[in-house]
Amino acid sequence: LLANVNKWSFNVFVLDWFTNGHSFPYLVTHLFHTYNFIRTFKLDALKLYRTIRLVELGYCKTNPYHNSLHAADVVQAIHCNLLEENIYPHMTSLEMMAAILSAACHDLDHPGVNQNFLTSSSHYLVSLYNGVSVLENHHWKGTISILHESQVFQHLPSHQWKRLTYLIEILILATDISKQQEILRKFKVDLTDKHVHSHRHKQTIVQIALKCADICNPCRSWKVSRKWSQLICEEFFRQGDREKDLNLPLTTAYDRTQSTTAKIQTAGFMSFIVEPLFIEWDKFSPSHRSKQMLLNLRCNRVKWAEIEKKENEEVDGSIRRQSNTTLVS
């Protein structure tokens, strides 16, 4: 299975089944060996494995979507993104390791609700981070805490440690969806020549690579993409349930009695968030893989639209039948 890790068709659900729910440590450890990080940075293999397990345990198993399986999927996706021929040759080992670690930890200790819920419920994290990128700040700081606790990088020279932690911070913070337009504008301006040279340019590239990896589910094959859609929507619906229970403002799309997975998938996320990001990625790094991502996205969008249309027709039919029954009565 891991022999196919370079392919966009890789199915992390299959790996998770074969590893009895532990795809995350298997995949991350495999990539640390693949990129030769252990030898390059003289890492203690046991400490490394303990670190990876700590991260895995830092994800909430009961979250339908934001769990270690999603993290594993994002790790595989950024691995694919950074393999492109106009990127990988310019990356240092430290930058590659920071990218893999950031992908692995980007949703660490995610509570299964969004920032709006945390704000409405007066969660302490909102006060702690002044309402700015609350979850993302929580994720990257939790990551650094685990790295300190495990001491896996305690032997690194100070300049490498500072660089590593800095990259982890800016990469995970970049996954804040509210910052997408800002980062995308920077990407368009800075990288029109398609060359990767300075630290600043590479940082922007990896930020975009991680953002693409984080929201790549609509760009997977239909079978895989549909499964992810069902999981994220179940998490949304659970948030809606909690909003009702706590008498908080109800997010309309998260009301399981009024919404459906198809309605959420066709509401604009694919067209206005995912597609613009992947179009720019394809412009910067055109490849068979990037073309496949966009093709999958557009095919999946059509399929969700067809499903929503069918659902609407069924609802209309049900309403007509009820009306006829009422008239007869």
Position 56, amino acid: E
Structure tokens at 304: 């969700």
Please tell me the total number of residues recorded for the chain in this structure.
329
Q: In which region does residue 283 sit, left (phi positive, over 0), alpha (psi from -120 to 50) or beta (all else)?
A: alpha
Residue 13 has a CB neighbour count (10 Å cut-off) of: 14
Is the distance from CB of 202 to CB of 167 less than 8 angstroms?
A: no
Instruction: Tell whether residue 139 is among the known ligand binding residues.
Output: no
Q: Is 69 annotated as a binding residue?
A: yes
Alpha helix ranges (H) inside 7-129 = 12-18, 23-34, 37-40, 45-57, 68-82, 93-105, 115-120, 124-128
* Nearest to 187, CA basis, from 200, 176, 175: 200
CA pair distance 84, 80, nearest whole angstrom? 7
Yes or no: say if 125 and 118 are a contact pair by the CB < 8 Å rule. yes
Residue 275, CA distances (Å) to 171, 219, 294, 329 in order? 21, 9, 7, 51
Establish whether 201 is a catalytic residue: no
d(CA 329, CA 251): 37
- Residue 109's nearest CA partner among 69, 60, 175, 53 is 60
Nearest in space to 43 (alpha carbons), one of 104, 83, 109, 101: 101
Ligand-binding site membership of 271 (annotated): no
**Is 11 marked within a binding site?**
no
Q: Which of 66, 79, 110, 139 is catalytic?
A: 66
DSSP letter, residue 70: H
> Does 66 show up as a binding residue in the annotation?
yes
Is 265 assigned a ligand-binding role in the annotation?
A: yes
Contact 99, 132 (CB under 8 A): no
Catalytic residue numbers, as ranges:
66
> Which residues sit in the known binding site for AMP?
66-70, 107, 214, 265
> Which residues sit in the known binding site for Zn(2+)?
70, 106-107, 214
> Which residues sit in the known binding site?
66-70, 106-107, 214, 265
